[in-house]
Structure 1
Amino acid sequence: MTATAAETGAPARAAAPPVYRDALDELRALRRQGLGPAAARVRELLGSLTDAADREAAGMLLGGRAARAALDGSGAFTPVTVGLLAGSTVDAVPPLLTAALMTEGVRPETVTTGYNQWRFEVLAGAPTLKDAAPLVTACLLDGAAVLEKVTDPLDADEVEARCAAFPAELDAWLAAYDKALGTLAVLNTVPMPALLRDRYIDYPTKARVESAWHRMNAGILDLSARPGAVVLSADGLADRAGSGRADDRMRHLAAHAWSTEFLDAYARELGRIVLARLGRAKKVLVLDLDHTLWGGIVGDDGIGSLKIGGGFPGSAHVELQSLAKDLSRQGVVLAVCSKNDDAVAREAVATHPEMVLRPGDFSAFRANWEPKPGNVASIAAELNLGTDAMVFVDDNPAERGLMARTRPEVAVVELDADPAGYARALAEAGWFNQLALTEEDRTRAALYRARARRDELRDSTGDIEAYLRELATELTVEEYRPLNATRIAQLFGKTNQFNLTGIRYGTDELARRSAEGTAAFFGIRVTDAFGDNGLVGALAVTAAPDGGWLVENFVLSCRVFSRSVEDAVVGTLLRAARAAGAPAVHGRHVPTAKNGRFAGFYPALGFAGHDGEFRHDLTQLAELPDWVRIGTGEGKFHAP
């Protein structure tokens, strides 16, 4: 009999780490072991999958009841309900959406209806969807939705009339959906079926019908102007996927209209919409320099030898810079994260004649030899944002892999070795997509650059109170109105750290409750010596049972933290309530994953209470911070 290690006194040999065939194999093992403790690894593995079929399989692995319970119990994923309607078989979308959103820390529960029930479900008052209360409902339509009411496809007059009527039919569907559910609806343009186009043997009829079809899709796209509606371009998704139509055999056997690759692209785009609705669209683009923003290594080759502009590959690097510039013009904050000597890197950015991006375009600059995950965390801290707001672009696969492994919450753009596709890869990823773009969004990058100048003033002023006085902050209350409705809804939807109750309000709810008089909504504008910060805060005020005022929610952008703005806002509201004769002001704090640091906010301002419920009797009001001036003329706090 062979003696054991314990019997001989020999040290036990450590068990070899398991070897997995691929990411799916490891995901299967993690599911058997319990997914909760491995949440970060799950996100990393999902992010590494590049094949649509693999993502579908991964989504199925993680979509079962036991897996959902383990993931929700981990606290690492935000559960959200998504509705899905369609005119064809789209069984692949829920697992593909699971894979897309779980990479971003969101776990979707997809509620579907029966085959081709998209009309009946909504026109009947949404009996299946209503109880589930989806945050977003997608309705994926194909050519059958248009042609099922055409009796003779060879009758070009009939087809043309049907195309002309279909956008109005969808408009009526959206009205019924808004009445039944009132949440965000996602529609799509409808590709012209090849069998319809090729059915005609004369070219004039082909052209006439195709022209009518294009006009129909233009009308569908126009529905995106309707509040609470998003319209996706099916042709754009098919171009991204490389294919749109399902295999003919699957079309006959399983009523498939779309290829798996198309459904994967669709699920990813739908995931972007859900993230935007949750306020999780990315805000910061972190860019490498060598072989990314320019060709060559500046420390080795010198500034004059860098490939920027001109012919390829310099043209590809300029294309990426131009895209970054345009993203910045729409509010995306730019930062540099490069392994380089700081002075050399800054000189290249400032002096190379073909650079599109200049030092003033960047709100943070890290050129050193430290690991990039740490530098990205440092950039996030400097901007007072979470690392989950960052998108990382680097030509080096080792740097991308390290970022994905150590910072799975950072979005990493996968790049080919050839720089020709860098700009396209970043643009198609859609990390910065918004439901609507406000003026504050457009000026965000400039606001963060102004913030850097404020930090310089702070660093040069030893006394924090002296710094705050020199900053000359002014706070103005704006009452809710159509011109600021989108921004106020965006603040409630996107702000996560200083969000005292986590309640989100869409533009439709703001309008409805304001009209009903059940709530009053306000925006907070902040200006200072360096310019206008824009609308940075929002409040919802309702009536309390004792006749006082209830602050249903208060949100404030991290851009103005540590300046006593939040204290000045509540102090101003308390004074307005006392002047109006209210007996008290009530406030609430409902814990979320990110607002824990503000659990003591109300008690610090003289409110009494516990367990998240607070009341101020308005007898003794704390002094307002005298370095924050309260502007007049825009509006004032009042009860609904």
Structure 2
Amino acid sequence: MTNAAEKTIYRSPMAELRALKRQDLAGSIGRVRAILAGFSDPLDLDAAGALLSGQQEQSTLAGIAGLRSQRLAVLGSSTLDTLPNLLAALLLRDGVVAQTRLAGFNQWRFEVLSGGALLRDHKPQVTLCLLDDEAVFADIGDALDMSEVEARLARFAGELRDWASACRSLSGGRVVLTTIPLSPLRLARLIDYRNRARLASAWSAMNAAILALSAEEDGPLVLSLAETVSVAGASPFASHRLHHVAGQAYCADFLKCVAQELATVVKANLGLAKKCLVLDLDNTLWGGVVGDVGTAGLEIGGSYPGSAHLELQALARDYMRQGVLLTVCSKNDDANARDALANHPEMLLRPDDFTVVTANWQPKAENIRTQAKTINIGLDAMVFVDDHPLERDAVQSFLPDVTVVDVPDDPAGYAATLAAGNYFNLLELTEEDRQRVAMYRAEAARTELQSESLSMDSYLAGLQSRLTIEPLNELNKGRIVQLFAKTNQFNLTGRRFTADDIIAAELSVFAARLSDRFGDSGLIAALAISKAEDGSAIVENAVMSCRVFSRGVETLLFALLLKAARAQGLPSVTGRFVKTAKNSQFAEFYSNLGFTAEGEDGFRHLLQSLPETPDYLEITEGAEVFHGI
């Protein structure tokens, strides 16, 4: 690339993207992602995605450290050629390389019922099936016979359930269905209002039944396209000409919104949901500047604009109740900020709702970086909301990993803009998610104890830690899968097991819970173990939450595993350490436990001299659980 003095002026962002692709795609990935983030028009996203989806480009992107890959499949009943390109652009800007396969036109049934190669060989981790109303009406003999139509619509959700189950059996991944919009022409062909009402009612009931499939055990994930239609801001349907000439049921803006929804699902599937909402105070959480008008003069609740600021607080509170961490980052006097949070009668959010409150006159980027270290999360897990465009721009410039919400000038749109980002969406809300805020508050108390302790040994002993070890079961499966998906630092191989992976591979999977005198940290570690032909135990992967680093949990778990393996007469225990962008601090983990390096990334323990177990950890349950491997 050229240096600053020779910087090329490009005609357009797309021209620059083409140049970066030709010159040095891998070396320019940061700039490539920034360009993609600037695109909003679906035609630009389509073109950019197509530019980056060639075989050579896919190979280059897959080899870039720090990017995650995900195999996807798209099936449907109409032309969906733009969806893979849209997904490629939208996901790459968030650090995910989409390896997408598209089924042929209206081949959604055939691909599954025939055991087609697209699913069987590609093994997509996420499969989307996007249907239009022709998929329903194709099997109706007389569209004017409302009894026949109602009977067909009543059966369709059950047929989709069976289809999704067969699809999942082929792919082994997650299946995503959607509700189905009813095109105006379907309704307009009925000339009496009674039958129009019957069709609309039956169609709504069918979509409700499709949505209900998500609640079934191992059921598909279902997206409600009513919200997608509202976001698109117009009819979801393609022009009549495109429908007839190209078989395209949906317009570009609508397909972009569908791609955004699926991109959110993919990121959640990879454990990339954001964890922390960073909030400004003056003219963001409340109207007015507290240093000027005092606590009593702030606009919160009541009429506009106070109602808009209260709406943002209510949204943040609901996020917090579902496990999202809240912090304050405000240029303010600390005493003024805390007084308003604690004493204004209309405040929904109080000081105890925030994991960290930072009110000073330092640059906000500096304060956010400090908050991330204090909470022990990555900057890429943080979302920043501030009314001032200069503050937003500064944070985006100095901390590009932080997601900065471009809120409008009018506070009436703050909450809706934040919610539309779907930054915190999860595939499933676990009990650990709900308890996350309490867990991080307890972690702050632990940090305070550590600062007061004379030594690390006295600190660890003072925690009075208790460990419970348990095998995989229906109650802990969701959290275990989430832990494999989300954990980056203590993740010894980078392998991310899904629920289907665990079953298909016939793994022995174990989990550990940790509590201490400050509270319950929940399920914080998981191990997946298989058996070699010679009887050796193979640690396929081990993951542990960053909340409990340096507390001896990982050492105790492996010490118990090695002890159990020797007691059962196994010849050895083996494992692998595969370096990723974030796990390098644990490169010596196996060596420190007495394992011997073997091959490129393998380690073997011959069970002769076992590591000592930390005496400051009490095992309250499951000490013998590894004897079941």
- Stretches (4+) displaced over 6 A: none
Distance 2:478 2:4 in 1: 59
Distance 2:520 2:301 in 1: 35
Shift of residue 272 of structure 1?
Answer: 0.8
2:622 pairs with 1:630: no
CA contact (8 A) 1:520 1:638 kept: no
- 1:126 maps to 116
Shift of residue 300 of structure 1?
Answer: 2.8
CA contact (8 A) 1:39 1:76 kept: no
- 1:188 maps to 178
CA contact (8 A) 1:44 1:408 kept: no
Between 356-365 and 608-617, the greater mean CA deviation after superposition: 608-617
Q: Deviations over 1:422-454 (max 9, x none)?
A: 111111211111111110111111111111111
- 1:389 maps to 381
Shift of residue 70 of structure 1?
Answer: 4.0
Q: Deviations over 1:265-284 (max 9, x none)?
A: 11111111111111111111
- 1:242 maps to 233
* TM-score of the superposed pair, with normalisation by structure 2: 0.95
Shift of residue 288 of structure 1?
Answer: 1.4
Q: Cα–Cα, structure 1 residues 157 and 624, in superposed 2: closer, same or farther, change >3 Å?
A: same
CA contact (8 A) 1:478 1:635 kept: no
Distance 1:503 1:36 in 2: 23
- 1:84 maps to 74
Task: Name the aligned partner's letter for residue 625 of structure 1.
Answer: P
Alignment of 1:535-614 (within 5 A): 535-610=523-598, 611-614=600-603
CA contact (8 A) 1:43 1:408 kept: no
Alignment of 1:195-214 (within 5 A): 195-214=185-204
- SS of 2:400's equivalent? coil
Distance 1:287 1:162 in 2: 50
- 1:437 maps to 429
Aligned to 2:265, which of 260, 270, 273?
273
- SS of 1:379's equivalent? helix
Q: Deviations over 1:543-602 (max 9, x none)?
A: 133322221111100111111111111112222222223232222212222212111101
- 2:85 maps to 95
- 2:255 maps to 263
Distance 1:362 1:635 in 2: 40
Task: Name the aligned partner's letter for residue 188 of structure 2.
Answer: D
2:341 pairs with 1:344: no
Aligned-CA RMSD value: 1.9
CA contact (8 A) 1:44 1:405 kept: no
Shift of residue 22 of structure 1?
Answer: 4.4
CA contact (8 A) 1:475 1:524 kept: yes
Shift of residue 354 of structure 1?
Answer: 1.3
2:16 pairs with 1:44: no
- 1:292 maps to 284
Distance 2:67 2:621 in 1: 43
Between 358-367 and 26-35, the greater mean CA deviation after superposition: 26-35
Distance 2:302 2:181 in 1: 38
Task: Name the aligned partner's letter for residue 399 of structure 2.
Answer: R
Distance 1:373 1:234 in 2: 37
Task: Name the aligned partner's letter for residue 237 of structure 1.
Answer: T
- SS of 1:185's equivalent? strand
Distance 1:212 1:302 in 2: 56
Shift of residue 16 of structure 1?
Answer: 6.4
- SS of 1:80's equivalent? strand
Shift of residue 622 of structure 1?
Answer: 2.1
Q: Cα–Cα, structure 1 residues 121 and 159, in superposed 2: closer, same or farther, change >3 Å?
A: same
CA contact (8 A) 1:44 1:404 kept: no
Q: Cα–Cα, structure 1 residues 431 and 165, in superposed 2: closer, same or farther, change >3 Å?
A: same
- 1:353 maps to 345
2:65 pairs with 1:75: yes
Shift of residue 58 of structure 1?
Answer: 2.4
CA contact (8 A) 2:123 2:172 kept: no
Distance 2:438 2:617 in 1: 22
- 2:131 maps to 141
Shift of residue 69 of structure 1?
Answer: 4.0
- 2:222 maps to 231
CA contact (8 A) 1:583 1:617 kept: yes
Distance 1:632 1:66 in 2: 52
Aligned to 1:106, which of 93, 96, 100?
96
CA contact (8 A) 1:34 1:70 kept: no
Distance 2:624 2:266 in 1: 33
- 1:10 maps to none
Task: Name the aligned partner's letter for residue 551 of structure 2.
Answer: R
- SS of 2:208's equivalent? helix
Task: Name the aligned partner's letter for residue 612 of structure 1.
Answer: D
CA contact (8 A) 1:478 1:634 kept: no
Distance 1:106 1:607 in 2: 34
Q: Which runs of 5+ in 1 are unaligned?
A: 1-12
Shift of residue 17 of structure 1?
Answer: 4.0
Shift of residue 14 of structure 1?
Answer: 8.6
- SS of 1:128's equivalent? helix
- % same residue: 50
Distance 1:455 1:14 in 2: 44
- SS of 1:388's equivalent? helix
Shift of residue 511 of structure 1?
Answer: 4.1
How many residue pairs are counted as aligned between the two chains? 624
- SS of 1:37's equivalent? coil
Q: Which runs of 5+ in 2 are unaligned?
A: none
- SS of 1:555's equivalent? strand
Task: Name the aligned partner's letter for residue 479 of structure 2.
Answer: R
- SS of 2:200's equivalent? helix
Q: Cα–Cα, structure 1 residues 34 and 214, in superposed 2: closer, same or farther, change >3 Å?
A: same
Between 354-363 and 577-586, the greater mean CA deviation after superposition: 577-586
- 1:477 maps to 469
Shift of residue 323 of structure 1?
Answer: 0.7
